[in-house]
Amino acid sequence: MSAADFLFLPPVIAHRGVRSQAPENTLAAFKKAREEGILWIETDIKLTHDGVPVLMHDDTLDRTTSGKGPVADMHWAEMGKLDAGSWFNPSFAEERVPLLAEALRYTLDNNMRINLELKPCPGRTQATVMVTLIEAAKIWPHDYPPPLISSFDTEALVIASRLHPDWPRGLLLDDWHDDWRDRLSKANADSIHMKADVLSAERMHQFVKAEVPVLAYTVNDPLRAKELLHWGVRAVFSDNPKEIAKAL
């Protein structure tokens, strides 16, 4: 299976949930996506110090929680108590750092789709991939479309391909590289998730010709989204997915 087999309808993925309306990577941000009729959610996965997979973008807790310091230094017992919403707005003070398991159950219960971006803290690639995929496989029904796995980390994708060859994998790239074919093949991935700013019609044409599915991040301008989709991008990651979907 590859990202090409998914129906992205609408072709918009809520980036860290709907992070323009709720604190990123919280269940409140997932709920916004459901309320707005957005089927797909992208979220970032890291491990706590004691190896519990959680939703978290940064290597440190400071920006998006009431905690401080590296995510990799805190046990789940402590992290689970942090306020993950007040930084965004005091009305979200009850939000906690979600467990991967909670995010997956929310996705399944609401008949949604999920892109798990493996974002290992430094030196924790193997553990992050293994724990995440083993835990996800325990929860995920065999007859439900699998999660889309992605990472900037080539090693993470290779490990994921060994654990779950049938789960689609996307290589994240934050810049243009002429050797993208080699990078894709070294990562054992089937799609490219490309920073939108560096995409052009000519570059997209290379991917389309090679039949490599491309997703583009982060696109908040509806006109730019239309252009990218017109060039053949399968879906865009957006902080305001409803606005994008409405304009298409």
Cβ proximity to ligand G3P: between 58 and 135 the closer is 58
CB of 23 to ligand G3P, least distance (A): 14
* β-pairing verdict for 53-55 and 148-151: unpaired
Distance CA 231, CA 27 (A): 33
Q: Are 191 and 2 in contact (CB under 8 A)?
A: yes
Residue with the two structure tokens 């606005």:
243
Partner in contact with 150, chosen from ligand G3P, Mg ion, none, beta carbon below 5 to 8 Å by kind = ligand G3P
CB of 165 to ligand G3P, least distance (A): 21
Cβ proximity to ligand G3P: between 45 and 79 the closer is 45
x/- track of binding to ligand G3P for residues 129-168 (CB under 6 A)? ---------------------x------------------
Q: Interface residues with Mg ion (CB under 5 A)?
A: 44, 117
15 is catalytic: yes
DSSP E strands in the chain: the ranges are 12-15, 40-47, 53-55, 113-118, 148-151, 169-173, 191-195, 214-217, 235-238
Site for ligand G3P in 103-122 (CB under 6 A): 117
Distance CA 38, CA 113 (A): 9
Cβ proximity to ligand G3P: between 15 and 164 the closer is 15
Residue 44 interacting with ligand G3P (CB under 6 A)? yes
What are the residue numbers of the active site?
Answer: 15, 57
